[in-house]
Amino acid sequence: MIAKHVPMKSIKKSDFDALVSYISDDQDKKERVEYTSVTNCQSEDLTAAIIEVTAVQGMNTRAESDKTYHLILSFREGERPSNEVLKEIERSICEGLGYGEHQRVSAVHCDTDNLHMHIAINKIHPTRLTIHNSYNDHKVLGKLCEAIEIKYGLERDNHQSNKVASENRAADMERHAGVESLLSWVRRECLDQLHAAASWDEFHKVLREHGLTLQERGNGFVIADHDGLMVKASTVARDLSKGKLEGRLGVFESLSKDSGVASQSTGRGKVYEPRPVGSRLDTTLLFARYKNEQANQRALRAQQWKSVREERARKIDAAKRAAKLKRAVIKLSTKSRIEKKILYALASKSLLADIQHANQQCQAERQAIFERHRPQQWADWLRRKASSGDVDALNALRARDAAQGLSGDTIGGIGGARIRHGVKVKLDGVTKKGTIIYRAGSSAIRDDGDKLKVSRGSSADGLEVALRMAMERYGSTITVSGSAEFKARIVRTAVDAGIPLVFADPVLERQRRSLLNNTTVNRNEQQSERGRGIGSGVSGIGSGVHNANGAGRWYGFFGAINKPNVSGVGRRPPPESRNRLRDLSSLAMVRFATGVEMLLSGNVSGGVEQQGAERNNALRRSVSGAGLIVSVEADKYIAEREEKRLRGINVPMHRRYSEGDAGTLSFAGLRRVDGTALLLLKRDDVVCVLPVDEPMAARLQRLSIGDAVSVGESGSITLAKGRSR
């Protein structure tokens, strides 16, 4: 976590209204403003809060410094604390700076690779009307961030300030603009030669060979390039300060006029030019396109500005000629002296109004031209090109050293057939690290080229769109990373939407197949229920089967002959009529255990419990507690335990019971979640969770922790003196 104060370079430009308008503007993006909050104001409405804060600032007439404090809190990539935690962090930071009672507006932005919060604070106290300036706020912010990281388990950042302000500004420029700063270039190209210089002539010669000059500025030295860009010499290296240089080379000797800037291209002729920094791709051609386009934009902007200035001059000249004509007419008129004086005043006022209107119109047109041909930094130009579909620009963004892959709850793929679903999503934006943000309904999906990430709180529709996008990009074999709750939602969404995919994780794939089988069984049961009714026809050509509402369902030529699991008449009895008393002597039997004995799979002869009666799920209603039950409560309990385990708490791994776990397991207890009983079975170091019905839960309560329990593939539990459930 990083906290940074953003000071205003010009106090006259400080504007609380403009700052709040910026941080609360969603810019027509789904993924920009997560939420906004107003603190210590009479109203939570932003417009009313701005009016109130502006009025309070206006009541302090003595303060000459900036009355607004702009603070940014940024979190590590992948960290997304809840809104409640963010509000607590905001409160702790503001109280630590001494602004706990001050009015403030905060907004959380999520349109970049790092979640960050903007806080606009009124430095004027709302009741005392005094200004508060936090002393050494950068050190205070570092200590506050360390405490917050420990309290909320955030990733630790280095909050020790080892750089001066100019170094930090240069690093910020390189990170945001994506080009090398003059400071870094001087250090890389000529710092060693400057250290080796034994006289002022040699020192100036090294700078001249690189298109640089050393100038006195204030009490120190600055190094300037041919375009006038400057950097403090002591910032380049501490031993280049004025005191240390004069101690090593003697009293400062300025560059002689005969060897001035005109000869700066001698020697190697290497001069500073902004170049892309930290890229794993060769961006030479792309950067040449960028420079050419920016040059064209500058030329167009200058040309159109010139036209606007000429148009303004014509309008002003026309207004002056009209005013001159009016004064001549007034002079020749026969009006009285007082009337002429009034007319002269009106003519002068009209002239001033025309000139003001021409200036305002010119200013508006200049601003519009600037917006159309706005100069862009290298990284911003790449973002704009990537948003318009330029693949080279997108790859350049993703090749930056600062770019990292998505983490947390993500969806990827490892191959398989790519299936075109025709997913329709709207482009919401592109970050400076090449992450594309799509809008799908109320959800936002991030794409870094290797993985997809769905925004927090997304609906099942958003997860479905993400799965279909993953199949289009990576193939039908899908990988899922993240929390247990997210994985459970992905599996459920894939089954409910009927997406023909395969999970690379065998555990998730078993869960998907189990849910898919149960869904198919329930669908067949519902179809059978629709076909069962009063007075239904059973045989005969063209007979139909009617439900209780009288609605008929056509079964084909011979009516009920098409029902599943029903053989021809007289060939095989229906399931409910099999294995009855007349066949008792030919059936395999097993003795019931007595006492506290428990029936295990080894005590049963082959083919009894394992084979059992043939299933006819299409003809029977679903029974609570039978088979591998699809339980939202089980998924909820597993997600809660897995979250604690991932936080470092000593909790064993929890997962759903599957067919591969059949056998003798160790009883680990019973739990209840939202009224549903969950049986915990321990297998090695893993706890399997199996939903059970109330009668079985009552019987399981007699067991002790560690007792052996026999469980079948379908989840049937066999206990002593009872039937398998």
SS3 label, residue 86: helix
DSSP string, 132-170: ---TTHHHHHHHHHHHHHHHHTPPP------S-HHHHHH
Count of beta carbons in the 10 Å neighbourhood of residue 483: 14
C-alpha torsion 20→23→26→32, nearest 10:
-160
Per-residue pLDDT, 623: 41
Q: Which helix (H) or strand (E) holds 95?
A: helix 83-97
Outline where 539-679 has alpha helix (H): 632-646
Per-residue pLDDT, 632: 81
Helices 391-398, 378-387: axis angle to 10 degrees equals 130
Model confidence over 612-665: pLDDT tens digits? 444 444 444 444 334 455 678 888 888 888 877 777 677 888 888 888 788 888
* pLDDT averaged per 10 residues, the chain (length 725): 87 87 84 89 92 95 92 88 91 94 93 89 95 90 92 85 72 79 88 90 90 89 88 89 90 69 50 83 89 93 95 96 94 90 94 96 94 89 89 87 74 73 78 85 83 79 88 87 88 88 89 82 60 44 40 37 49 60 52 49 47 45 47 84 76 85 86 87 88 86 85 77 44
> And the tokens for 662?
């059949």
Model confidence over 658-702: pLDDT tens digits? 887 888 888 888 888 888 889 999 888 889 999 988 888 888 888
Q: Residue with structure tokens 């959800």?
A: 443
Angle, vertex CA 644, rays to CA 639 and CA 645, nearest 5: 95
Return d(Cα 437, Cα 624) in angstroms, integer.
43
Count of beta carbons in the 10 Å neighbourhood of residue 231: 22
Could you tell me which residues come within 8 angstroms of residue 45 by beta carbon, excluding any fewer than 6 positions away? Answer: 38
> And the tokens for 276?
């892309």
Largest CA distance in the chain: 138
Strands lying side by side in the sheet with 230-232: 212-217, 220-225, 230-232
Instruction: Please choose, from the candidates 413, 462, 456, the residue with its C-alpha nearest in 3D space to the C-alpha of residue 438.
Output: 462
Enumerate the domain spans of the chain: 2-152, 181-263, 284-378, 404-504, 601-718
Asked whether the beta carbons of 115 and 79 are under 8 A apart, the reply is yes
Instruction: Please choose, from the candidates 693, 684, 632, the residue with its C-alpha nearest in 3D space to the C-alpha of residue 660.
Output: 684
Per-residue pLDDT, 403: 59
Amino acid at 521: V
Return d(Cα 9, Cα 432) in angstroms, integer.
25
Return d(Cα 123, Cα 101) in angstroms, integer.
10
Fold topology of 2-152: BirA Bifunctional Protein; domain 2 (3.30.930)
Outline where 334-387 has alpha helix (H): 337-372, 378-387
Angle, vertex CA 281, rays to CA 279 and CA 284, nearest 5: 95
Return d(Cα 461, Cα 492) in angstroms, integer.
12
Q: Looking at the whole model, is its pTM more than 0.85?
A: no
